[in-house]
């Protein structure tokens, strides 16, 4: 069965520092992986996705993620944090039927000046 584990429920960085949010997955089929961001009192916005092909995926707002099959990981990074990046981040894998997203519990990113 598919599942996602996000390591660290809360990550704090300084403005301009590297952002690293960790996600490990379990999947019985080749995974389709996603990162979504949720700002307070809003819905989820797609940051980036991996389906097939290039393992380094670039998304919006300067974020990128690398699919590592050997490590079953899909960590999200951004070279330089901005205050506006403060939000909740969710990693997700699509289920075996290809119909539903299975989400991790989320990581809250705080950015200090």
Partner 1 sequence: DAGVTQSPTHLIKTRGQQVTLRCSPKSGHDTVSWYQQALGQGPQFIFQYYEEEERQRGNFPDRFSGHQFPNYSSELNVNALLLGDSALYLCASSLGQIQETQYFGPGTRLLVL
Nearest CA-CA partner of 98 in 47, 6, 32? 32
User: What is the closest distance, in whole angstroms, from the C-beta atom of residue 80 to partner 1 in the complex?
Assistant: 27
Contact between 12 and partner 1 by CB under 8 A: the answer reads no
Tell which one of 97, 110, 112, 113 touches partner 1 (CB under 8 A). 97
For residue 68, what are the β-bridge partners? 73
User: What is the closest distance, in whole angstroms, from the C-beta atom of residue 87 to partner 1 in the complex?
Assistant: 14
Distances (CA, A) of 39 to 14, 26, 42, 112: 19, 27, 5, 16
The contact set with partner 1 (CB under 8 A) reads 32, 34, 36, 42-46, 49, 51, 90, 92, 94-95, 97-106
């Amino acid at each position: 069965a598919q599942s996602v584990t996000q390591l660290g429920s809360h990550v704090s960085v300084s403005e301009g520092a590297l952002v690293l949010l960790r996600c490990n997955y379990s999947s019985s089929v080749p995974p389709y992986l996603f990162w979504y961001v949720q700002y307070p009192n809003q819905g989820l916005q797609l940051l980036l996705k991996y389906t097939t092909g290039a393992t380094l995926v670039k998304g919006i707002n300067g974020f990128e993620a690398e699919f590592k099959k050997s490590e079953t990981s899909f960590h999200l990074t951004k070279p330089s944090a901005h205050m506006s990046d403060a939000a909740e981040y969710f990693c997700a894998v699509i289920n075996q039927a290809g119909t539903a997203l299975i989400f991790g519990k989320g990581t809250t990113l705080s950015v200090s000046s």
